[in-house]
Structure formats: structure tokens, C-alpha cells
With several copies, the nearest count.
Chain A
Amino acid sequence: MKTGDVVSCTIGGKTVEAVYITERDERAVLKLSSGYNIGVPFSEVLHVRDGEERKGVEPPVVQDSKLPELAIISTGGTIASRVDYRTGAVTSRSTADEIISAIPRLATIGRFRTSQPFSILSENMKPSMWIELARCIYDQIQAGAHGVIVTHGTDTMAYSASAVSFMLDTPVPVIFVGSQRSADRPSSDNVMNALCSAAVASANLGEVAICMHGTVNDDYCAVHRATRVRKMHTSRRDAFQSIGAEPVATVTYPDLEVSLHADAIGREAQKLALRDTMEEKCALISYYPGMDPAILDSYTSYRGLVIAGTGLGHVGTALMERIRELVCNGTTIVMTTQCLHGRVCDRVYDTGRDLLRAGVIEGEDMLPETALVKLMWVLGQTENPEEIRQLMQENLKGEIVRRSVYGL
């Protein structure tokens, strides 16, 4: 039996005709004419006839050549997707026509070119794919895109956006977008997020950002600087939050008015450039009480290590010896804080001063995840320890906010 075949089975003494969908936990899943799926033992299912081939039809799409050209790069997100109502499978759609036919209003904002360097679940992202993605964005901008939209699963979107931010100097907006509720549901946040991201991709912005719901309402999207944003909720629409910084823009919905923050970097403020080497041999570890110092032994071959320490940036004294050894052996260690908010300051307590003496670099107010991505990039640029330290402590792409302003 294959999906779509007509079958029959007997339930309560009556014969029921149905369509075979799939196998699930040793049961045949059948769709009844009422639309309900049921799972029955294979032994009870009789094949009646083969299914007919069903073919989807896309309505034709016309793009307005007077509108600015925007590039959509899909990495496997479901900004435009279609449910197979028989199997429940969600098919991601990534050609311009497919995307526009799913979200027709996009066609009033721009002319779209699309590209799909790969298609994965975002938890399977890895640094080599960040590089591929950055190159793809670079190519699109060089080819004249007025703005770039990257559709991405939300799980690791902040890491990817941050990585692109370090690798790419962009004169145009590079906007990452995703959805927290899958595109196959009528309440999905995908349409609003997509439209807002297209609006901000056309705006006077020249940096890498993430555009997602600003609240749980369908009222506006917040546009977060790639290096200051973190997914702060597993499932809420407004999961993405700027930490220690304000969003660089907001886009109201449904009128799609873009308001830029005074700190936003404008179009053409940076010249297009790509520096796409990254050192993958880097790790992030969170300290906790009683952490066994032996755990650090796994990192002896690592070139970089970010620690999310406690409070102002501390670890237990028991780890100090191993940390000194790692630094001596050439591992760059950057201290960040598991508090997420606030600044690392290892000058206040003895533990911190010991860390500084051991050669650990204070990560200022960088998010631990951003610090990891930055460290990979910095180690891809230079091997000079002094340069590494300087680059890590310098604000390159908004990842370090030199002043902790009250109210953020």
C-alpha cells in the first residue's frame, strides 16, 4: 500500500472505505471521507484500488517590475508552506512564485528573487552553513538586491544572524525572519512576520537584523540587531527579545510603517565586504556549582572557549588551574555571564581578578551565544593573541554596548 491508495476496513461490523496515508507505530493511518484520520491494525486493512495522482496547481504570479528587487533566501524555514491534508506533511515552498502565491501581498512591496542554499531544521545549523549563507547573501547583494530576507527556523536564528553580521559588511538590510507557530495554521505568525520583514528590507537600514513579532498581538514586529537578540521563549510569538539594547526598528501591522531607532545603521553606511573564515573549534560552556574541572579537559584541542560564568563573570576556584593551562596552551577564553543581562566585570572580586591574571578576556556585555560566534569569527581572522583580545573587546557589529543604559 502506498499513500493515496483506496482501502477498506471493518469497524463495528461495518465496512468503511478510506484512503491509506502512512504507517505510524505499527498501525495503518487511514483518512475517512469525513476527513478524520484513524489508526487501525494492518491486518484489518484491505487494498481496494490504487490512488490517483494528484497534482498541485499554483495560480500564476505577476511581479511588478517597478518595485525594488528583494532577495529571499530560504534555509528551510516555513515562511511559505503547504499542508498535504492527507498526510499532514508540511511542504516548504521556496520559489518566488510559491512564496508570493502563499503571501500575495508581498507582491505589492517588492520584486522577488529567491535562492535556497540548503534546507534544514535550524537546530542542525553549523558554522560551515553560516559561511555558505553569508556567501549567498553577498552574491545577492552584489547582484543588486535592494534588501535581503533570510527565512530561517527560529531555534538557532539568532546564532546565524549574528554569524552573518560578523562575516558581512552590508550596505542593505539583511533581515532574518521565521515563525513561532507553523505556517500551516490559520493563526500562524508567518504572514505578518514575512510582510514586516519585506517592509524593513526595503527601508533605510544597512545591517543584519531579525524581524519577528514585537508582542503576542498581531500589532507590530520588532527588528532586532543580530548580535543583541536572543530567543527568550520556547513558543510565544514575541520570543525574540533584544537584550541590553533597544530594537533597531519596529514595523506596524497591517499598515507596514517602519520606524527606525536613532541608533539604526543606515543604507550604504557600510561598503559591501565579506570576510568568511570562521574557526569551528570553539565551544560555549555554562558554569554551575560543583562543575568537575576535568570537564575542561575535553577542550584542550580547542582554539576558543566562551564561559557563561556566574554573576559578574565567575567560576569556582577549582577550575582556575585548568583555565590557566588552557590559556597557556593557546586557547582563547572569553568570560560572559549566565545572567544574560548586564556586564562582565572581573575587577571587583578576587575570583575575577584571578581570571584576569590567568589571561581570560572579559566579554563586556556580550551575550554568551554572540560571544561564541564572534570568537569563531575573530579566530578565523587572526592568530595574534593581542589582536584577538582587542577584537573581542571592541564593538564590531553592535555586540558590545559600551554603556549600560537604564531601562533596557
Chain B
Amino acid sequence: MDYKALGLTAGIEIHQQLDTAEKLYCRCPTILRNIDERNGEIRRYLRATVSEMGVIDRAAEEEMKQMRFFSYYAYNTTCLVENDDEPPTPMNPEALQITLTIAKMLSMTPISQVHTMRKMVIDGSNTTGFQRTALVAMNGIAGGNCIIESICLEEEAAQRVTDKTFSLDRLGIPLVEITTAPCMHTPEEVKEIAEYIGMILRSTRKVKRGLGTIRQDVNISIRDGARVEIKGVQELDLIPEVVSREVERQVSLLAIREELRSRGAEVPQGELDVTDLFSSTKSKVLKKKAPCIMAATLKGFAGIVGREIQPGRRLGSEMSDYAKKCGVGGLFHTDELPAYGVTEEEVAALRERALAGDGDCVIIVSGTEQQATCAIRQALKRAGMALEGVPEETRKMLPEGSSAYMRPLPGAARMYPETDVLPVEITEEMMAAIDLPELLVEVAARFTRELGIDSALARHIAYSDRLPTFEKAIAAGIKPSLAARTLISTLRELSRDGVDCGGIPDETLIDLLLRVNSGEVAKEAIPDILRALAGGAPLEEAIQSVGPTFSVSDLETLIEGIVAERAEFIRDRKMASLGPVMGIVMKEVRGRIDGQIVADVLKRSIEKRI
């Protein structure tokens, strides 16, 4: 696609969890828990509050279509603040310090007096019904020419366990949100900027690492399209796909708009109860839901509702997304029927009842009367938008890179001051006192320069989660190559084999490497020892499990025997016998003593005999 011609503009928001000792507005540790460790559960309703204009924020209103009773798991590492039963503490100074450091790295200007706001979120992921967030700095630059609009410090939401159940361990972990201007124009460019900002963040050495600790939201629009925010892109590599699919979607929706307009299509309001038509249906889906089935006719929409707008997504899917907000499972439309057990006769009867002509499309939904009515109206709303083009929306990424509707883009009405938290002053002295950390790219260059590590591997190390381990290992006197190989290659290979070494503490890894360094443990034994450690064994036991270590004098005795047995062969072949005999020795000692030592001893032994 010619993105320039289509007028693609994109921006990103990067959400990165900070690795602070305590949460942003309480003093709980920022650690995640297993839900089995919960020690309490609280249950609450949330409701949107009315703004001074008598208006409920449109995003919040959407979330309110169902009255929802939420359940929250509490832990001994959460407190009454997460339970929304105690006022928040002042903003965590450590989190603010990290945020200011990032702002300085991005040449941003801090806000003189930072105000904590409440952003209304009533999907249950915040016990309060809002997320606390503060704009800390504005207007910087990333990677040479991408403008950074703002950096906000906000609290993480609770993790969803099931539909209406959340776990409070994650709620309140500090998170920075970095928003770029819409200054990117190709899918690849988006990825590059995201990558660069990620590197900046990790350079602080104060951000959380691992799955779910960083999330990208991408804002995309094309000319004549509309701004769409796609949330929850966790892998950088997927960003270009997400962007190009959204461009495709907007292009398709604009084409549909033109076709509908040319057909003179329209969306009459009003729903039709057609429950009786399906009283003896064989369709399992309709039967399952069924107290009420509602229908509506989309004039001039025939064939278009079923049209694909993105891989795996049709206009009908978009309408279905809207309908689902009312608690129904989805909708059917005559572009796809008969199907799902709905017969041709039923479709005919439906069309007749709905007074639908050949050019029209009929949609149906089933559920309780209230649900079905709500859902059909939502679907009609979305159908109406098709006549306008691309709606502004917040969407969530689907696994392959397509997206589904979440809610309208939230307006400013959802944001109001957090009166329980005092504003914080940011002075020039505070900014001046911040030491900028060494960028990871610089770290990598230094590794190559100072440790003689190959530049690709150095980059790997610098960007890896094990960077601090590596640095500790070097400080402890471990050979850089050993440390790099073990911490990068070996661990990655094990990870590919499904061995999760994430739980092995740095201290244990360094202890192991020190033993290898001293020859106490053979380099070759490392993978097997790591497997044992990953399985939960203590280091001593892990080492023992691989086999007792083999001392140099043991080795000498062994080699003496082997060489003696093969004295003739050695005398014949001289040093050329080294290879074959080495093989025989290694069979005995592999993984129990360093191969280099074996080679040295064997070589000396052979030399004595020739």
C-alpha cells in the first residue's frame, strides 16, 4: 500500500511499569501474586458519576450498559487503598524521580506543579472506578525527529481474572505513559520509534521487565478516515501488521461508505420482536439465548454487512461488537444466513416480517428482552456510522493483528481532579540534579570496547533482562565470554526447550559461574545444572545431580590409564592421536570437567609418551 498516498499518520502511547519498591499511591510492594495466595475477596458495584453538565462520559456510558457486580481478590501484599477503603498516600517520590529521569532523557519540559487526576474507568479494572494519572512533563523529542507530546505517571489497573473478577496485586503499580505526536507515516516507522523509546525506558534500569510490563497503544488514521486507538499491542514485531491492517480497515470502510451512499442506503430506527418466528428453530445459538429475538432492517445494506474489511473481520463483526456491550453473544445478519442452524424458511419469514427487499439486510439478536432491545439499537447505531465512514474508537488488538471495538474514544469529561492527593512541585533544581543514565546502546558499545564482546552479542546483553546479572558477574570477576554465553545463549536455548529459568536468582547464577570460572564445575555442565535449578533444586544439589565433579588429579589418573592402554597407537600416530583419544576420554568425563583442561592434560600425557 502507498501509505503516503493514503495519508497515514500514526502515533503511539507506550505504557511501561516502573520497578519501584512501593506502589504509586500506597505503600504496598509492586509484586504480582498467584491468585491462590489471596486472603480476601471484596464485591462492589460501580456506576458512572454525572458531570456538571448532566452528562456521563461517552466511554463510561458504554461501560454502564450492564449493571455489573465486580469481585476483587486481596492479598497480604495489598491494602485498603487498593480496596478503595482508604485515601491514597502522596505520590510515590521514587516513581516521580524515575519519570522525571525519562522526561529529561527525552528532553521534555516538566510541569511546574503536577496534579493527580482521576480518569473514569468503570470496566471494573479499578476499584475506585477511576485511574489516577498525572501529567508530569510535555514536549520532548525521541530518536531525532519524533515529537513526544507528554509523559504521564499513572497507576496500573487490576488484572482481570475472569469476566467480573479482578486481582488487586497489580493495581497501583506505577506506570509511565509516553505519548508521541502523530508523527509516523509508515508501519515500520511506528515500530522503530516504539523500539527506541523502549530502549530509553530500559536504560533507566528502573522499569519492570517481562511479559505484560510494557504495552503499546497505537493511534492510526488515514486521510478521510478517523483516529482509532488500538490498545494492548504487547509485541513490537506485531506493530507494523496492526498498523497496516487498520489502514486496510479504514480504506474498506470508506469504500463501503461510498457504496452505501451510492445505493441510497439508510438505517431506519426501531426494532421488531420476531421471537415467535423462531419458536421451533433448530438453531442452537438462538435456542440457547432465546427469551427474546429482536430484528431490524438495514435498507440497502445487502451484501455489505458480510463484506470483509480486515482479515477475519466484516462490517457485521463491527456491529456485533457494539451489540455485545448489552450482554448478548453477538448478532446474525441475512448476508450470512441461512447458517448456524437457521433455515431458509426462517430467513424468508424474517425478511417478510421485516419488510426487507432484496437490497436490504436484516439483523437479529437474541437475549432477554432488555438485552436484545439494547443490542439491536447498538447495532443500528454502528450501522448508521457506516454511512459516515470511520468512527473514532478505542479498539483492542486481536491475536493476529486485526482489532475489535472496545469503546468510543474517551473525552475530557472523564477526567477530574484527584482531591485526595496534593499537587507536587517540580523545581529546576530537582531536574538539574538528575544524572542521565547511560543508554543501553552506549552500554553495548562499552561492552564491545572494554570487554571485547562481539557487538551483536553486546547489544543482546545490553537489551536483555539479564543485563544486571551480567554486570554483577563481570564485577565478580567472571570471564565476559562465559557470562555472556551463559546468560544470553544458554538461557535462550533452554527457554526454547521450555525450561523457564526466570526464577533463578542472580546470586545463584553468579555463584554457579564463579564455580565454573574456578574449574570446580565444568562449563559443559551448565545447561544441565540450570535445568535442575529451574526445577527448584538448590545449587549444591543441582551440581550433584549432574554428576560429581572430576578433579584434575582424577583426570590425570584416568588419562594415564587410557593412554597406557593405547600406548602403541599413540607412539604410531604421535600428536595426531590426540583427537581420537580425546573422544574416548570425553565420553567418560563430559559435563564433569572442563574440556579445555582435558585437552591440556591429555596433550601433556601424550607428549610424555612420544
**6 closest A-B pairs by CB:** A186-B129, A39-B113, A35-B415, A12-B139, A88-B417, A12-B109
* Chain B 105-120 interface residues, beta-carbon cutoff 8 Å to A: 108-109, 111-115, 117-120
Taking the closest CB of chain B, its distance from the CB of A231, in whole angstroms, is 14
- The answer to the question of B226 belonging to the interface, with a C-beta cut-off of 8 Å to chain A, is no
* Chain A 208-242 interface residues, beta-carbon cutoff 8 Å to B: 216-219, 234-237
Provide the residues of chain B in CB contact with A29, threshold 8 Å: 113, 115
Q: Are B26 and A345 in contact (CB under 8 A)?
A: no
* C-alpha spacing A32/B114, complex, angstroms: 13
Provide the residues of chain B in CB contact with A191, threshold 8 Å: 45, 47
Taking the closest CB of chain B, its distance from the CB of A337, in whole angstroms, is 12
Interchain CB contact (< 8 A) of B135 among A38, A184, A192, A217: A38
Q: A56-B54, A216-B42, A217-B43 are in contact. List 6 more A-B contacts (CB 8 A).
A: A36-B133, A38-B135, A57-B53, A187-B84, A348-B419, A406-B39
Provide the residues of chain B in CB contact with A405, threshold 8 Å: 76, 78-80
- The answer to the question of B423 belonging to the interface, with a C-beta cut-off of 8 Å to chain A, is yes
- The answer to the question of B52 belonging to the interface, with a C-beta cut-off of 8 Å to chain A, is yes
Provide the residues of chain A in CB contact with B119, threshold 8 Å: 35
Q: Which of A61-69, A79-87, A118-126, A366-374 contacts B (4 or more CB under 8 A)?
A: A79-87
Binary flags per residue of A36-47, CB closer than 8 Å to B gives 1, else 0: 111111000000
Interchain CB contact (< 8 A) of B128 among A11, A59, A102, A187: A187
Provide the residues of chain B in CB contact with A38, threshold 8 Å: 111-115, 135
Q: Are A345 and B87 in contact (CB under 8 A)?
A: yes
- The answer to the question of A49 belonging to the interface, with a C-beta cut-off of 8 Å to chain B, is no
* C-alpha spacing A71/B139, complex, angstroms: 55
Count the B residues whose beta carbon is within 8 Å of the partner chain — how many?
A: 71
Q: Are B420 and A348 in contact (CB under 8 A)?
A: yes
Q: Could you show 16 A-B contacts with beta carbons less than 8 Å apart?
A: A12-B108, A12-B139, A12-B140, A32-B135, A36-B133, A41-B112, A85-B51, A87-B417, A88-B419, A186-B122, A235-B80, A235-B86, A404-B80, A404-B81, A407-B39, A407-B40
Interchain CB contact (< 8 A) of A25 among B43, B46, B113, B150: B113
* C-alpha spacing A231/B396, complex, angstroms: 45
Q: Are A347 and B90 in contact (CB under 8 A)?
A: yes
* C-alpha spacing A96/B53, complex, angstroms: 18
With CB as the reference atom, state the residue of chain A lying closest to B111: A38
Taking the closest CB of chain B, its distance from the CB of A246, in whole angstroms, is 10
User: Which residue, A57, A186, A218, has most C-beta atoms of chain B within 10 A?
Assistant: A186
- The answer to the question of A275 belonging to the interface, with a C-beta cut-off of 8 Å to chain B, is no
* Chain B 60-81 interface residues, beta-carbon cutoff 8 Å to A: 60, 67, 69, 74, 76, 78-81
* Chain A 6-61 interface residues, beta-carbon cutoff 8 Å to B: 11-14, 16, 24-25, 27, 29, 31-41, 54, 56-59
* C-alpha spacing A4/B118, complex, angstroms: 20
- The answer to the question of B412 belonging to the interface, with a C-beta cut-off of 8 Å to chain A, is yes
Q: Are A36 and B416 in contact (CB under 8 A)?
A: no
* C-alpha spacing A85/B67, complex, angstroms: 24
* C-alpha spacing A29/B115, complex, angstroms: 9
Provide the residues of chain A in CB contact with B50, threshold 8 Å: 82, 101-102
Given contacts A217-B44, A403-B26, contact A85 B413 (CB under 8 A): yes
Provide the residues of chain A in CB contact with B411, threshold 8 Å: 35
Binary flags per residue of B205-238, CB closer than 8 Å to A gives 1, else 0: 0000000000000000000000000000000000
* C-alpha spacing A374/B171, complex, angstroms: 34
Provide the residues of chain B in CB contact with A36, threshold 8 Å: 115, 117, 133-135, 150, 152, 415
- The answer to the question of B422 belonging to the interface, with a C-beta cut-off of 8 Å to chain A, is yes
- The answer to the question of B302 belonging to the interface, with a C-beta cut-off of 8 Å to chain A, is no
Provide the residues of chain A in CB contact with B84, threshold 8 Å: 181, 185, 187
Given contacts A185-B129, A187-B84, A187-B127, contact A83 B51 (CB under 8 A): yes
Provide the residues of chain B in CB contact with A236, threshold 8 Å: 80, 85-86
Q: Are A82 and B52 in contact (CB under 8 A)?
A: yes
Q: Are A33 and B52 in contact (CB under 8 A)?
A: no
- The answer to the question of A172 belonging to the interface, with a C-beta cut-off of 8 Å to chain B, is no
Interchain CB contact (< 8 A) of B416 among A25, A39, A85, A192: A85
Q: Are B83 and A406 in contact (CB under 8 A)?
A: yes
Given contacts A12-B138, A186-B49, contact A58 B54 (CB under 8 A): yes
Identify whether the interface residues of A are mostly helix, strand, loop, or mixed: loop
Interchain CB contact (< 8 A) of B80 among A59, A101, A406: A406
* C-alpha spacing A217/B152, complex, angstroms: 32
Taking the closest CB of chain B, its distance from the CB of A348, in whole angstroms, is 5
Q: Are B412 and A186 in contact (CB under 8 A)?
A: no
Q: Are B85 and A235 in contact (CB under 8 A)?
A: yes
Taking the closest CB of chain A, its distance from the CB of B37, in whole angstroms, is 14
- The answer to the question of B421 belonging to the interface, with a C-beta cut-off of 8 Å to chain A, is yes
- The answer to the question of B184 belonging to the interface, with a C-beta cut-off of 8 Å to chain A, is no
Q: Are B421 and A186 in contact (CB under 8 A)?
A: no
* C-alpha spacing A185/B45, complex, angstroms: 12
- The answer to the question of A91 belonging to the interface, with a C-beta cut-off of 8 Å to chain B, is yes
- The answer to the question of B28 belonging to the interface, with a C-beta cut-off of 8 Å to chain A, is yes
Provide the residues of chain A in CB contact with B108, threshold 8 Å: 12
Taking the closest CB of chain A, its distance from the CB of B42, in whole angstroms, is 5
* C-alpha spacing A235/B46, complex, angstroms: 18
Total contacts A-B at CB 8 Å = 199
Binding site for A on B (CB under 8 A): 26-28, 39-40, 42-54, 60, 67, 69, 74, 76, 78-81, 83-87, 90, 108-109, 111-115, 117-120, 122, 127-130, 133-135, 137-140, 150, 152, 411-417, 419-423, 425
User: Which residue, B49, B54, B135, has most C-beta atoms of chain A within 10 A?
Assistant: B49
* C-alpha spacing A59/B133, complex, angstroms: 31
* C-alpha spacing A57/B39, complex, angstroms: 45
- The answer to the question of A2 belonging to the interface, with a C-beta cut-off of 8 Å to chain B, is no
Q: Are A33 and B412 in contact (CB under 8 A)?
A: yes
Interchain CB contact (< 8 A) of A185 among B26, B114, B128: B128
Q: Are B128 and A35 in contact (CB under 8 A)?
A: no
* C-alpha spacing A101/B128, complex, angstroms: 22
* C-alpha spacing A173/B74, complex, angstroms: 33
Provide the residues of chain A in CB contact with B69, threshold 8 Å: 218
Q: Are A37 and B52 in contact (CB under 8 A)?
A: no
Taking the closest CB of chain A, its distance from the CB of B466, in whole angstroms, is 31
Provide the residues of chain A in CB contact with B118, threshold 8 Å: 185
Given contacts A38-B111, A185-B130, A347-B87, contact A82 B417 (CB under 8 A): no
- The answer to the question of A271 belonging to the interface, with a C-beta cut-off of 8 Å to chain B, is no
Interchain CB contact (< 8 A) of A83 among B49, B79, B114, B127: B49
Taking the closest CB of chain A, its distance from the CB of B251, in whole angstroms, is 29
Taking the closest CB of chain A, its distance from the CB of B381, in whole angstroms, is 21
Taking the closest CB of chain A, its distance from the CB of B24, in whole angstroms, is 14
Taking the closest CB of chain B, its distance from the CB of A81, in whole angstroms, is 9
Provide the residues of chain B in CB contact with A56, threshold 8 Å: 52-54
Given contacts A25-B423, A35-B119, A186-B130, contact A11 B412 (CB under 8 A): no
Provide the residues of chain B in CB contact with A58, threshold 8 Å: 54
Q: Are B416 and A347 in contact (CB under 8 A)?
A: no
Provide the residues of chain B in CB contact with A345, threshold 8 Å: 86-87, 420
Q: Are B129 and A11 in contact (CB under 8 A)?
A: no
Interchain CB contact (< 8 A) of B43 among A27, A54, A91, A218: A218
Taking the closest CB of chain B, its distance from the CB of A311, in whole angstroms, is 11
Provide the residues of chain A in CB contact with B419, threshold 8 Å: 88, 90, 182, 348
User: Which residue, A36, A191, A347, A402, has most C-beta atoms of chain B within 10 A?
Assistant: A36
Q: Are B49 and A348 in contact (CB under 8 A)?
A: no
Provide the residues of chain A in CB contact with B43, threshold 8 Å: 217-219
Taking the closest CB of chain A, its distance from the CB of B237, in whole angstroms, is 30
Provide the residues of chain B in CB contact with A33, threshold 8 Å: 412
* C-alpha spacing A163/B394, complex, angstroms: 54
* C-alpha spacing A304/B115, complex, angstroms: 34
Given contacts A35-B415, A84-B52, A186-B47, contact A237 B85 (CB under 8 A): yes
* C-alpha spacing A33/B135, complex, angstroms: 12
Q: Are B53 and A347 in contact (CB under 8 A)?
A: no
Q: Are B86 and A342 in contact (CB under 8 A)?
A: yes
Q: Are A192 and B115 in contact (CB under 8 A)?
A: no
* C-alpha spacing A8/B507, complex, angstroms: 54
* C-alpha spacing A219/B43, complex, angstroms: 8
* C-alpha spacing A149/B480, complex, angstroms: 58
Provide the residues of chain B in CB contact with A184, threshold 8 Å: 49, 416
